[in-house]
Amino acid sequence: MTLTHDSAAQFTRVLTESLPYLQKFSGKTIVIKYGGNAMENEQLQRGFARDIVLMKQVGINPVVVHGGGPQIGELLTKLNIPTRFVQGMRVTDSQTMDVVEMVLGGLVNKQIVNLINHQGGKAVGLTGKDGQTIRAQKLNVSSQSPETNTSEIIDIGHVGEVKSIKTDLIDTLIASDYIPVIAPIGVDEEGISYNINADLVAGKIAEVLNAEKLMLLTNVAGLLDKQGQLLTQLSTEDVDYLIADGTIHGGMLPKVRCALSAVKHGVKSAHIVDGRQTHAVLLEIFSNEGVGTLIN
């Protein structure tokens, strides 16, 4: 097919615009948290896999951390295992944790690895248990009692937080030209497994790898102001102010705090990206406009 004058001009403009970014990010590590809508739509899945392979091809080192909440919920329903949530977190007893490991460490992880490999990449799947990559500790959740005005600790089972990250295995994979795909399951000193929020894991991995960027794919356009307009670029001070005045609230708060922590601990920039858009990762990295909110 012959390019028209307009399509040739557009093609050239895109390539020319991307050149400074290709030069800037070559050899750098970018950690991408993958989940939500982008994981459930076949077209978006293929687009994501192609983005990751292209990044590797041009000299960037992508590290993928994935979630899988909807898939966990679906299998729990099929197995007639009841689910309860506390403060937005799934209460995870031993039986539920078995399902979490099956879904995250098995089904979802291998699907993503296969998608990337099918597009010509070299992906390797692992959980935080492999090589003791993610050392976890139990997450303590407290609830304030209005009657007694005291805090009560709620046991939500095998839900953890990151205590530390070992980078040996990730570094080895990157140095050998592989793309690590990591399920957010950690283990404590006693060998007990914990399910950890994928955003938090991605943020901590970005910090210890001294990553150039942390990208959190989500199912909204990015951070919005009180009028619903997209905020395309924010400083850490801007974000602190928007949290304090209530602009950033609810379910977006944990994600934003994770991005904020990463930037304050050495990651050059964090991006909250609309994963519903095809090739969102490439558009955010290689275009002037981007498709989400940049925090630096």
Predicted pLDDT at 196? 96
Question: 136 near 160, Cβ under 8 Å?
Answer: yes
- Establish whether 68 is an annotated binding residue: yes
* Ranges under pLDDT 50 in the chain: none
3 state SS of 295: strand
For residue 226, the model assigns a pLDDT of: 87
Q: Is residue 80 part of an annotated ligand binding site?
A: no
Q: If we measure between CA atoms, which residue out of 289, 118, 258 comes closest to residue 280?
A: 289
Please state, in angstroms and rounded to a whole number, the distance separating the CA atoms of residues 225 and 228: 5
Torsion of CA 245, 247, 251, 255, to 10 degrees: -90
Domain ranges across the chain: 27-295
The label of the residue with tokens 């530390």 reads 164
Q: Is the dihedral of CA 38, 40, 44, 49 positive or negative?
A: positive
What stretches of 67-189 adopt beta strand conformation (E)?
A: 85-86, 89-90, 123-127, 134-138, 141-145, 150-154, 159-165, 179-183, 185-187
pLDDT digits (tens, 9 = 90+) for 73-92: 999 999 999 988 888 889 99
For residue 69, say whether it is annotated as part of any ligand binding site.
Answer: yes
- Chain-centre distance for alpha carbon 70: 15
Give the fold, CATH level 3, of 27-295: Carbamate kinase (3.40.1160)
pLDDT at 4: 65
SS3 state at 216? strand
- The answer to whether the annotation marks 128 as part of a ligand binding site is no
